[in-house]
């Protein structure tokens, strides 16, 4: 199974299945000499782990990270950082009755036709359990980015039919953290919670939308043509379990705008700083960061494991009716929010490291305004 590695200079490879021994990863290309805050990394993992609320999976995992290489005396060595997150609370028996059945909207059907022999326990490699490794690797990337002044903040703007209509330019992280659903609007968050409680009671699920903002990112990150920063962000986000849509800046709304309305006008302030008067571009022009806030949104489908009866077939083509029990989320929100941040961090850090030497060289021979 290929396709398990992201990034070129900073590359991340994840491994592990939902009910296997562990999930984990190898992060290669991470700079040497960076102070590694293990408490910070664990805190990021705690934001994603199950059992955080009555609406999340009841799977009881501590998600304690064990770093086995690449860090010594609290600093990165510049060598590959390898880590494990052990699976401690597997319940494969929850899946015995479904092992020969294709669950609707799961990867069972496609994995079976591609690989023939698959791990049916919790979806194996297709399980959201794999995202724990992403969050751990992303935490390392965020530590590096924080050291160079880059900040990444993701938050919930929609759950099911409930959505934020007014989003402030400056979002308080404390308000996000105080919300179980990671929504910065307390009133909207409460309505979202009520909706999810009703869905849980009925045995159903729903989807949601996460917005992410990246500040402090210098201009010049990104590559033409196929490695555009926006393209790599889109790939990273769409690789997350249940992701069904990605838009950056004005996104799909741009299709109904005029050029005069959509163009981000540029001015120079008295202090000499260049300023974009609007940010419909989402902080990226021509696939390269322009120094403004990078912002994008990711839409996630409803969790497909539902208690309602569904029609499907088994491996032999026989019709079946199934109802999925076990430990499942009502919505990927809020546990997917730290995953979005992690994937954004990995992409930005990779492009930062790709660009750092070129950026310094070009500035010496051709200083920018």
Neighbours of 121 (CB within 10 A): 20
Q: Quote the tokens at residue 34.
A: 């960076």
pLDDT < 70 regions, the chain: 1, 51-61, 89-95, 326-327, 357-369
**Cβ burial 72-83 (10 Å sphere, 16+ → b, else e):** eeeebbeebbbb
Question: What is the phi/psi pair of residue 122, to 5°?
Answer: 70, 15
Q: Quote the tokens at residue 60.
A: 């009881």
User: How much is the pLDDT for 225?
Assistant: 96
Structural domain boundaries, residue 354: 5-365
User: How much is the pLDDT for 361?
Assistant: 42
The pLDDT tens digits of the residues spanning 110-160 come to 999 999 988 887 777 888 889 999 999 999 999 999 999 999 999 999 999
User: How much is the pLDDT for 96?
Assistant: 74
Q: Are 156 and 192 in contact (CB under 8 A)?
A: yes
User: How much is the pLDDT for 67?
Assistant: 98
User: How much is the pLDDT for 54?
Assistant: 58
User: How much is the pLDDT for 196?
Assistant: 96
Q: Quote the tokens at residue 14.
A: 């994840």
User: How much is the pLDDT for 56?
Assistant: 58
Q: Alpha carbon 114 to chain centroid distance?
A: 25
> What pTM, to 2 d.p., does this model score?
0.93
**Which CATH number do you get for residue 354?**
3.60.150.10
The pLDDT tens digits of the residues spanning 261-319 come to 999 999 999 888 899 999 999 999 999 999 999 999 999 999 998 889 999 999 999 99
User: How much is the pLDDT for 323?
Assistant: 86
Question: What is the phi/psi pair of residue 170, to 5°?
Answer: -110, 115
Total domain count for the chain?
1
Q: Are 297 and 247 in contact (CB under 8 A)?
A: yes
Give the angle 343-234-352 at the CA atoms, nearest 5°. 55
Q: Quote the tokens at residue 284.
A: 């990226």
Q: What 3-state class would DSSP assign to 14?
A: strand
User: How much is the pLDDT for 362?
Assistant: 46
CA atoms of 303 and 127, how far apart (whole Å): 11
CA atoms of 189 and 192, how far apart (whole Å): 5
């Amino acid at each position: 199974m290929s396709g398990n590695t992201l990034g070129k200079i900073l590359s991340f490879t994840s491994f592990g299945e939902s009910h296997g021994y562990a999930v984990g990863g190898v992060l290669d290309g991470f700079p040497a000499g960076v102070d590694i805050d293990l408490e910070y990394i664990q805190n990021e993992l705690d934001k994603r782990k199950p059992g955080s609320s009555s609406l999340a999976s009841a799977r009881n995992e501590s998600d304690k990270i064990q770093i086995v290489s690449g860090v010594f005396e609290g600093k990165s060595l510049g060598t590959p950082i390898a880590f494990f997150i052990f699976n401690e609370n597997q319940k494969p028996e929850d899946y015995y009755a479904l092992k020969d059945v294709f669950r609707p909207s799961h990867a069972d059907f496609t994995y079976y036709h591609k690989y023939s022999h698959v791990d049916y326990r919790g979806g194996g490699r297709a399980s959201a359990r794999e995202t724990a490794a992403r969050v751990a690797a992303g935490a390392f990337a965020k530590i590096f980015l924080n050291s160079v002044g880059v900040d990444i903040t993701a938050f919930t703007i929609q759950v099911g039919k409930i959505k934020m209509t007014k989003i402030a330019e400056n979002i308080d992280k404390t308000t996000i953290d105080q919300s179980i659903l990671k929504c910065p609007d307390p009133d909207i968050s409460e309505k979202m919670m009520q909706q999810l409680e009703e869905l849980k009671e009925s045995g159903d699920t729903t989807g949601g939308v996460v917005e992410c903002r990246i500040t402090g990112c210098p201009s010049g990150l990104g590559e033409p043509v196929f490695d555009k920063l926006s393209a790599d962000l889109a790939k990273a986000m769409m690789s997350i379990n249940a992701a069904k849509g990605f838009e950056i800046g004005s996104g799909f709304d741009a299709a109904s705008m005029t050029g005069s309305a959509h163009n981000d006008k540029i001015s120079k302030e008295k202090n000499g700083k260049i300023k974009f008067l609007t940010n419909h571009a989402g902080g990226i022009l021509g696939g390269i960061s322009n120094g403004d806030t990078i912002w994008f949104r990711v839409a996630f489908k409803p969790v497909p494991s539902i208690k309602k009866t569904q029609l499907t077939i088994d491996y032999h083509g026989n019709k079946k009716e199934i109802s999925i029990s076990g430990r499942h989320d009502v919505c990927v929100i809020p546990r997917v929010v730290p995953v979005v941040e992690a994937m954004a961090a990995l992409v930005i850090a990779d492009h930062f490291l790709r660009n750092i030497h070129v950026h310094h060289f070009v500035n010496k021979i051709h200083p920018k305004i």
